[in-house]
Amino acid sequence: MLASSVLLGACGSSKGSSSTSKTKIDTARVARSIEQSIFAQRHLKASVVCPTGIPQEAGKTFECVATTPQPKNPKKLVKTPFVVTIQNSKGYVTYVGK
């Protein structure tokens, strides 16, 4: 089990300049941050997939899935969900592995 909690700032992005367009979380950046955390804490290369189109709304949560190699034999891939919580309207997020 991978457990980490990190504050990631400025993950929001805005598509277009229309007043009807809502700011979305940059989930690709969130995925890269989770991958970096896994590598720093567990020394494992991970591939993380997050959903796209998540509105940048404080309190909203979504789930990303990290795939890592199992460190022990037999070697196989392990999938670990990460719950991401949007902390504020500026795109600050925290995440924790389940």
Question: What is the rounded CA–CA span in Å between residue 25 and residue 45?
Answer: 24
Contact 64, 50 (CB under 8 A): yes
Confidence (pLDDT) at 22: 80
Locate all alpha helices (DSSP H) within the chain, ordered by sequence.
27-42
Is the pLDDT score of 7 beyond 70? no
Neighbours of 60 (CB within 10 A): 14
**Domain ranges, ordered by start, for the chain:** 6-12+22-97
Confidence (pLDDT) at 74: 80
Can you give the pTM of this predicted structure? Answer: 0.78
Lowest mean pLDDT among 8-12, 34-38, 82-86: 8-12
Is the pLDDT score of 12 beyond 80? no
